[in-house]
Amino acid sequence: METVERKQSKNWFWGVFLILGIWWLYQESQGIRGSQVISVRPQEVQTLEIETPVRTKIKRGDRFQVKYRLAKSAKPKISIQGQRVKIICGAQKSHASFSIGDWGTGPWLEVTLPNNLNPQEVLVQSQGDFSAPGLKTQKLKIKNTSGDLNLSELQVQKMELQNRSGDVTLSKIWPQSQQIKIQNQSGDLKINRFETKKLAIDNQSGDLNLKQLQVKTAKIKSRSGDLHFAQITGNDLQLRSHSGDVRIDRSKFDQGQVQTDFGDILIKHSNLQPVKVQTNSGTIRS
């Protein structure tokens, strides 16, 4: 039979093991704050690449710096490969505990770019809310798994957004961009106040709101969701909606086609006479 002393020893062992486990989980859930200055000459940075599973912001400042509050297992790794700077965060394993411990503020990553650093290319893979006010680059490409995207006051020539889940807001993009391409799987799109030569939107599910745009060609395809266009001018509009109402206000296009399978079309104070408008199941009003 097992002696009392041996039982007490085993209980003591498992007690220590449990305490250490709880302490480790607590430390992970609290996360760590940190910052790191990236020592590189601004003119040598051609590509900035970011992979992040948390809320992320790119902003302007005095120096190239990364700040964060993350679980220890997700501490960002920064590497410089030639003219490419990569910032990669690990998986946020204790996200749920962290959010509770931090009263809902959650983990975050902040990348500061000095005013004289304007990379030719910015590549982002995100799984949380993402914003980049005042970003200046030739090419911006974002793949977003979950979280809202908020992009404002950008200077960009080519932009490609792939959004799986989350709302997207684009505003004040200048000067005139060459191409903006958006693939949206789930979430509302709100786009306003910019000029572009080519606008292409492929929307699977979500409402689409466009306002105060100047585009040469616009090709928009939507499977599910209402579409509202206001104060838009352009040369060619190609719009196809499977399910959802379409409303066009104070807009003008020289040619194109507007078609819905299931949904009403309302056109107010707009000049679309050269544009072919039709619906398979719904009404057309003006």
Q: In this predicted structure, what is the pLDDT of residue 174?
A: 78
DSSP 175-233: EEEEEEEEEESSS-EEEEEEEEEEEEEEESSS-EEEEEEEEEEEEEEEEES-EEEEEEE
Structural tokens at position 58: 């790119």
d(CA 111, CA 66): 5
**Domain regions of the chain by residue span:** 34-119
Please give the average pLDDT of every successive group of 10 residues along the chain, which has 286 residues: 58 72 59 89 94 94 94 89 94 48 66 95 96 95 95 94 96 88 96 94 97 96 96 96 96 95 95 91 92
DSSP 97-118: HHHHHTTT---EEEEEEETT--
Full-model pTM: 0.85
Q: In this predicted structure, what is the pLDDT of residue 249?
A: 97
Q: In this predicted structure, what is the pLDDT of residue 99?
A: 41
